[in-house]
Amino acid sequence: MMKRPSPPDFNGLKKRIADHRAITSGRASSQFVRETYCLTREEARAKAREWFDAFPKAAYWTEVESWRQLEGDQIEFTMRRLPSAD
């Protein structure tokens, strides 16, 4: 009967993953400027257009990060952009 090898020690890997997540978690949130709005559909379109006009997508990576429709034709959405263009 052959003896099975013991499983590898994953403690080192778990520590490296935890360290990486701790380092990158703060960085990811600070890279972008975000603002969340709750407006009517037409006002939401106008606000998004303001962002794209003021902060062009090509330079600032501007985008509607998330959105959802609420009752009464209200739209809740988050706009995201880089803090400055390089």
Residues 10-57 pLDDT 10s = 777 777 777 777 766 655 556 899 999 999 999 999 999 999 999 999
- Look at residue 18 in the predicted model and tell me its pLDDT: 77
Which sequence spans correspond to the domains of the chain? 31-81
- Look at residue 8 in the predicted model and tell me its pLDDT: 66
Q: Who wins on pLDDT, 24 or 75?
A: 75
Pairing state between β 63-70 and 74-81:
antiparallel
User: Measured between alpha carbons, how far is 47 from 41 in angstroms, rounded to an integer?
Assistant: 10
Given a cut of 90, whether residue 67 has pLDDT beyond it is yes
Residues 78, 64: contact at Cβ < 8 Å? yes
User: Cα-flanking dihedrals φ and ψ of residue 17, to 5°?
Assistant: -65, -45
Q: What is the dihedral of CA 30, 31, 37, 41, to 10 degrees?
A: -160
- Look at residue 59 in the predicted model and tell me its pLDDT: 92
